[in-house]
Amino acid sequence: MRIDLTGRTAAVTGSTGGIGYAIARGLADAGARVVVNGRSDDSVSSAIGRMRAELPEAELVAAVADVTTQEGADRLRESAGDVDVLVNNLGIFGAVPPLEIDDDEWRRFFETNVLSAARLIRMTLPGMIDRGWGRVLSIASDSALVIPEEMIHYGASKTALLAVSRGFAKAAAGSGVTVNSVIAGPTHTPGVEDFVYQLVDRSLPWEEAQREFMRVHRPQSLLQRLIEPEEIANLVCYLASPLASATTGAAVRVDGGYVDSIVP
């Protein structure tokens, strides 16, 4: 299969590192004009410089914006123009004992992980529908289905994101626009390395710490290792392409078999 997104504009939130960067790079490699988003000039410039070094022909647009706010969402849209592919990748996570998650933390997680995505979908979906083609993808998590005790607020926000995607898919029914969520499993990113060391002995070398984390805290994984960001990006690029025209309203898993279910 050849994924060709030439002539399409893709906006990826939180795309200066980790999964977001891998997705942005994959979409650029497929020919899309890619809007790289982050909260600082330095992080966005650095990500674009790195990506241009890897893909000299890529068409990349900087969008320095905090998309958890309406002002930031407006700034991203102004930088992007008409968006054909929206990837809601921005998200926060962290381990907190269940009884210590206060109201402010609950609100922060929902505003970042859910409302930022809903706002951008609301802003971009009408244009996609008018043009008769578009892709909306939101990066969820295995934690949406297997709520971890150490971060209930994160799991609940990702469950809500699945509902948001399914609902907007119904709003786009019959339009040529698809709306899906991607259930990502435990993935190797710098943020996850920090998270792993919240739960295992910090004195362990990384490879040992990763194995201990998977053995103790994610024993359901059939992959038995952390997923690499590029493995998430591969699925996102497929779902963003014309090849995935019959997949909509779905929660598609790239979780290493972590969720113990034969259906999402």
Which residues form the catalytic set? 154
Separation CA 252–CA 183 (nearest Å) = 6
Q: What is the DSSP letter of 82?
A: S
Sheet of strand 33-38, all strands in order from the earlier edge strand to the far edge: 60-64, 33-38, 9-12, 85-88, 134-141, 177-184, 251-254
What values do phi and psi take at 245, rounded to 5?
-65, -20
Q: Is the dihedral of CA 232, 234, 235, 239 positive or negative?
A: positive
Q: Are 66 and 39 in contact (CB under 8 A)?
A: yes
Helix extents (H) in the chain: 18-29, 41-54, 70-80, 103-110, 116-131, 152-171, 190-199, 206-217, 229-239
Q: How large is the greatest C-alpha to C-alpha distance in the chain, in angstroms?
A: 55
Which residues on adjacent β-strands are paired with residue 62? 36
Distance of CA 80 to the CA centre of its chain: 18
